[in-house]
Amino acid sequence: MEQILSNRIVDRVLTSLASPLQNWLDAHPMGYWLVSHPLWLVGLVLIALLLLSGLFGAIAQLTQKLWIFVLQAPLSLTRWIFATLFQLFAAVFRWKEDSGKPPENVHRLTEILSRLEVLRQEQDELIQEAKTVLKEMG
């Protein structure tokens, strides 16, 4: 009698555990097919694990790059601020130095104008000499 009672208890426990699983398998025929073909199930589980492994690896690399960026951001920002300030001060000091003396282009322009003036005077002298030579001939 004791054995019959324990068998009934075991049957009811197994039925209560298997009933929701059987209902789910009835509602999902693909799941039933996978359960009834264990080699396909093992293959699909291995493929799923491989894909999940790749996904977790990609997430790990993304997290690593994100932390590196977060930790380097203050240093990069500080370097950018100092470089910008250095360029700004260099431009201001260069402007102050250049404002005290005329630009080099102005100096070059005055040289060109003085040479042109010398050449114009020489041209006038040559024209005057040519006129006197023509008067003597004619």
Longest pairwise C-alpha distance within the chain: 162
Q: Decide if pLDDT at 11 tops 90.
A: no
Share of the chain above pLDDT 70, in %: 93
The tens digit of pLDDT for each residue in 40-87 reads 889 989 999 999 999 999 999 999 999 999 999 999 999 999 999 999
Share of the chain above pLDDT 90, in %: 49
Cβ-count burial of 5 within 10 angstroms (0-12 exposed, 13-18 middle, 19+ buried)? exposed
Q: What is the average pLDDT across 89-116?
A: 79
123 is written with which tokens?
């041209």
- Work out the pLDDT band at 98, boundaries 50, 70, 90: low
Q: What is the average pLDDT across 95-107?
A: 69
The 3-class secondary structure across the chain, one letter per residue, is CHHHHHHHHHHHHHHHHHHHHHHHHHHCHHHHHHHHCHHHHHHHHHHHHHHHHHHHHHHHHHHHHHHHHHHHHHHHHHHHHHHHHHHHHHHHHHHHHHHHCCCHHHHHHHHHHHHHHHHHHHHHHHHHHHHHHHHHHC
Q: What is the average pLDDT across 115-130?
A: 95
Q: Decide if pLDDT at 97 tops 70.
A: no
Q: What pLDDT was estimated at residue 50?
A: 96
Question: What is the value of pTM for the model shown?
Answer: 0.42
